[in-house]
Amino acid sequence: MTIFKEIVDEEFMTVSEAKDVLADIEAERALDEEREMPYELARAIEHVNRFAVLDAEESVELAEELLELEKVDAATAYKITDLLPEDRDELRSVFAQERYSLSGDELDEILDIVVKYA
Any idea where the domains of the chain sit in the sequence?
Answer: 15-51, 56-117
pLDDT score at 8: 85
> What is the domain class of 56-117 according to CATH?
mainly alpha
pLDDT score at 28: 86
- Would you say residue 100 has pLDDT above 90? no
Q: 47-94: per-residue pLDDT in tens?
A: 999 999 999 999 999 999 999 999 999 999 999 999 999 999 999 999
Decide if 15 contacts 59 (C-beta within 8 A). yes
pLDDT score at 69: 96
Average pLDDT of the chain?
92
More confident call, 73 vs 28: 73
pLDDT score at 4: 80
More confident call, 1 vs 45: 45
* Whole-structure pTM value: 0.85
Decide if 88 contacts 107 (C-beta within 8 A). yes
CA 24/CA 14 separation, integer angstroms: 16
CA 61/CA 57 separation, integer angstroms: 6
Sign, CA torsion 102/110/83/80: negative
